[in-house]
């Protein structure tokens, strides 16, 4: 019996039966959206439908570091900067990407002086970090297409084979990944992941991607600032922090790995970039991992530990972060926790970060006495809407884009892979087919935290659905105005538990279905994004600090639409909240709250550098990604 194992979750339940059945894990019927609602509000553009598909844990340079745009377009990546050559070997400016170690410091830091840094002679080797060694019936890759087909309805049949391939073939799931060419003697900088013994189809090791760690890896200080990098973030401590903050295996040199689209890697994403419009300045909204970045996508804000009625309370002490080093260690954190009170500079880790922000004339933008979620924590609601127990985010009153759309009678839905099966499991199902429900990503659903949506049975039924419902909505023309799509943990592209080609296959399946409905396709924009960089290093316009939580490194972002053709590369500064800003501008909505990031203006680029906003903090609304008339009642900073 199949038992998916997304991310680092350990699953001990096994079903006794291993028989092959022909029914799919999730049905294909859909609850049709109210078509009158769908057209209740006119749009400012020809775009009547937006679909946002969110993959997992890939930075921009990790995927597109060696991408060459079409003639007349420019790009900021490893190839254009001379850091790597087209064949993936070190380029003339390879040293710009050098990584360093840091001597022991007395407390947590987000920036260190050059005198405290020691360069690596060779890069810490890439690590297997849980890479599957052989096919299994309990985790990917699986033994056969016949075995997996009954459980995974989100792929086209021809792509199911991808769930059966890619095991390392090595004896152990830990240790140096010897499939990487010269793994133990790599020069100090980025390296091509794929090669003669590492195909693009391979499962590979994960690397650390947590909040205080990523700030520290970024090595930010005003003392480092330049005209092209006014935030002063050097991004030169990636392997060091992965090695030093704990004694666990956190990926070692994996953070410096890159694909090579010139040699056949990420072929479908490359095809989309060649055909449509790509951003090379789209950033993750929050330093760290999956949960907080998805919450920011849905709210323009973060959630905090509360009494369930919107009032901050103190979480258990064992869950409060303390990234100060343990005595006698280089950098082993005292508590790698889930919550932090960023309104109080005396709290562990908070002071250095707020001091850095103050040096840039920025504030933390944190509610007084609120302990915010900084690392992955499941919502307080189960998929069936029941209140959950254990280590959870209490039900949240933070306003979501779903609430704003509801108020204007604009249709929307969140489509989660394996959601129906997850609901069945929460209801106590013992149906073997429902075991795929453990691959549903609860922390990826920003509306799962919200009492107004998940705590209301009618709202939950109307707006939280399965990916199979998306397929039906595209086919029968009932697609909502706004859709968020999250693949299940087998298909999301997350290192170790998924592969990037599985995410590509999922995206292709959606686009093929949309293409089969030309009338719908003509008025639809598909945003292909990632939640965060997954701890992979990135070279380009490093970070624009907005508040305590981020921004973070660049991630891939492509817009597929009849109005985004041409293979363009847009340099305007964006992050996840840019998607909210596009929705709000297109459907004439106001910012969600007085404190949410969608209040920030659109960037005005420096004359000498299109990547750097001269009116920072600022994030764009994505209108530059399109080729339609953009002069609709727009004022100087892009707001209506």
Look at residue 1 and tell me whether its pLDDT is greater than 80. no
Nearest to 142 by CA among 121, 123, 118, 163: 163
Instruction: Give mean pLDDT, residues 402-414.
Output: 97
CA dihedral in degrees (168, 145, 137, 23; nearest 10)?
150
Instruction: At 125, list the tokens.
Output: 């080797």
Look at residue 28 and tell me whether its pLDDT is greater than 60. no
Q: Where are the alpha helices (DSSP H) in 53-176?
A: 60-64, 145-148
Look at residue 472 and tell me whether its pLDDT is greater than 50. yes
Look at residue 11 and tell me whether its pLDDT is greater than 90. no
Instruction: Give mean pLDDT, residues 266-295.
Output: 97
Helix (H) or strand (E) holding 581: helix 576-586
Q: Please tell me the distance from the alpha carbon of residue 625 to that of residue 280, in angstroms, as a whole number.
A: 11
Helix (H, G, I), strand (E, B) or coil at 95: helix
CATH architecture entry for 35-625: 3-Layer(aba) Sandwich (3.40)
* Distances, alpha carbon 407 to alpha carbons 41, 48, 309, 403, 558, in Å: 11, 18, 21, 6, 29
Instruction: At 286, list the tokens.
Output: 């929050």
Nearest to 373 by CA among 412, 321, 442: 321
Instruction: At 133, list the tokens.
Output: 């060694």
Return mean pLDDT, the chain: 91
Question: Is the CB of residue 373 less than 8 Å from the CB of residue 291?
Answer: yes
Is the model's pTM score more than 0.75?
A: yes
Nearest to 122 by CA among 194, 196, 183: 183
Q: Please tell me the distance from the alpha carbon of residue 305 to that of residue 317, in angstroms, as a whole number.
A: 12
Given pLDDT bands bounded at 50, 70 and 90, which one contains residue 607? confident
Strands of the 49-55 sheet, one edge to the other: 464-466, 412-416, 482-486, 49-55, 524-530, 557-560, 277-279, 568-570
Given pLDDT bands bounded at 50, 70 and 90, which one contains residue 252? confident
Q: Please tell me the distance from the alpha carbon of residue 61 to that of residue 63, in angstroms, as a whole number.
A: 5
Residue keyed to tokens 């087998």 = 490
Beta strand pairing status for 524-530 and 49-55?
parallel
Share of the chain above pLDDT 90, in %: 88
Residue spans per domain, the chain: 35-625
Question: Is the CB of residue 424 less than 8 Å from the CB of residue 437?
Answer: yes
Q: What is the pLDDT of residues 173-228, one digit of tens each?
A: 999 999 999 999 999 999 999 999 999 999 999 999 999 999 999 999 999 998 88
Q: What is the pLDDT of residues 481-524, one digit of tens each?
A: 999 999 999 999 999 999 999 999 999 999 999 999 999 999 99
Look at residue 22 and tell me whether its pLDDT is greater than 50. no
Q: Which residue has the higher pLDDT, 464 or 628?
A: 464
Instruction: Give mean pLDDT, residues 239-251.
Output: 90
Given pLDDT bands bounded at 50, 70 and 90, which one contains residue 26? very low
pLDDT of 290 reads 96
Instruction: Give mean pLDDT, residues 455-461.
Output: 97
Sign of CA dihedral 425, 430, 434, 439: positive
Nearest to 51 by CA among 574, 615, 493, 559: 559
Q: Which of 39-43, 141-145, 383-387 has the lowest mean pLDDT?
A: 39-43
- Alpha carbons within 13 angstroms on the beta-carbon side of residue 263 total 19
pLDDT of 628 reads 87
Given pLDDT bands bounded at 50, 70 and 90, which one contains residue 41? low
Instruction: At 187, list the tokens.
Output: 């020069």
Question: Is the CB of residue 98 less than 8 Å from the CB of residue 90?
Answer: no
Q: Please tell me the distance from the alpha carbon of residue 357 to that of residue 172, in angstroms, as a whole number.
A: 44
pLDDT of 542 reads 76
Given pLDDT bands bounded at 50, 70 and 90, which one contains residue 35? very low
């Amino acid at each position: 019996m199949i038992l998916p194992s997304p991310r680092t979750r350990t699953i001990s339940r096994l079903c006794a039966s291993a028989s092959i059945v022909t029914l799919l894990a999730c049905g294909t019927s859909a609850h049709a959206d109210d078509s009158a609602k769908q057209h209740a509000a006119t749009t400012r553009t020809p775009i009547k439908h937006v679909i946002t598909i969110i993959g997992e844990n890939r930075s921009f340079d990790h995927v597109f570091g060696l991408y060459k745009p079409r003639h007349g377009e420019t790009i900021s990546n490893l190839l254009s900067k001379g850091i790597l050559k087209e064949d993936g070997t070190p380029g003339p400016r390879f040293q710009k990407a050098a990584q360093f170690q840091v001597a022991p410091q007395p407390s947590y830091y987000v920036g260190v002086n050059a005198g405290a840094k020691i360069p690596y002679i060779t890069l810490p080797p890439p690590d297997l970090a849980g890479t599957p060694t052989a096919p299994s019936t309990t985790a990917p890759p699986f033994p056969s297409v016949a075995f997996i087909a009954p459980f995974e309805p989100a792929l086209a049949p021809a792509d199911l084979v991808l769930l059966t391939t890619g095991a390392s073939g090595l004896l152990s799931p830990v240790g140096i990944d010897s499939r990487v060419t010269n793994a133990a003697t790599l020069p100090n900088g980025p390296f091509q992941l794929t090669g003669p013994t590492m195909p693009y189809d391979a499962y590979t090791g994960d690397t650390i991607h947590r909040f205080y760690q990523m700030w520290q890896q970024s090595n930010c200080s005003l003392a480092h600032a330049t005209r092209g990098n006014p935030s002063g973030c050097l991004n030169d401590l990636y392997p060091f922090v992965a090695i030093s903050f704990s004694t666990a295996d956190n990926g070692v040199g994996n953070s410096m790995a890159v694909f090579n689209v010139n040699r056949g890697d990420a072929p479908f994403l490359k095809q989309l970039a060649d055909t449509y419009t790509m951003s090379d300045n789209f950033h993750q909204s929050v330093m760290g991992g999956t949960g907080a970045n998805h919450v920011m996508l849905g709210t323009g804000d973060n959630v905090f530990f509360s009494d369930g009625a919107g009032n901050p309370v103190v979480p258990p002490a064992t869950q409060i972060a303390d990234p100060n080093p343990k005595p006698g260690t280089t950098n082993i954190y005292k508590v790698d926790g889930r919550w932090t009170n960023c309104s109080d500079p005396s709290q562990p880790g908070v002071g250095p970060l707020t001091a850095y922000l103050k040096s840039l004339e920025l504030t933390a933008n944190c509610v007084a006495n609120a302990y915010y979620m900084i690392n992955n924590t499941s919502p307080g609601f189960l998929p069936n809407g029941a209140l959950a127990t254990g280590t959870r985010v209490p039900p949240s009153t933070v306003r979501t884009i779903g609430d704003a759309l509801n108020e204007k009678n604009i249709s929307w839905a969140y489509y989660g892979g394996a959601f129906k099966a997850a609901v069945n499991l929460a209801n106590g199902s013992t149906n073997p087919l429902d075991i795929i429900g453990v691959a549903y990503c609860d922390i990826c659903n920003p509306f799962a935290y919200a009492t107004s949506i998940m705590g209301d049975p009618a709202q939950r039924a109307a707006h939280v659905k399965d990916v199979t419902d998306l397929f039906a909505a595209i086919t029968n023309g009932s697609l909502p105005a706004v859709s968020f799509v999250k693949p299940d943990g087998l298909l999301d592209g997350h290192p170790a538990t998924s592969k990037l080609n599985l995410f590509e296959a999922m995206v292709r399946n959606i686009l093929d279905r949309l293409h089969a409905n030309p009338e719908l396709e003509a008025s639809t924009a598909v945003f292909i994004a990632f939640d965060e960089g997954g701890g992979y290093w990135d070279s380009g316009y490093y970070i624009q600090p907005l508040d305590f939580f981020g921004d973070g490194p660049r991630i891939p972002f492509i817009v597929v639409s009849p109005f985004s053709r041409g293979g363009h590369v847009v340099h305007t500064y964006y992050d996840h909240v840019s998607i909210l800003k596009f929705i709000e501008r297109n459907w004439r909505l106001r910012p969600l709250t007085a404190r949410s990031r969608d209040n920030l203006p659109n960037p005005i680029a420096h004359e000498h550098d299109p990547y750097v906003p001269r009116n920072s903090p600022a994030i764009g609304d994505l209108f530059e990604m399109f080729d339609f008339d953009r002069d609709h009642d727009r004022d100087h900073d892009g707001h209506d």
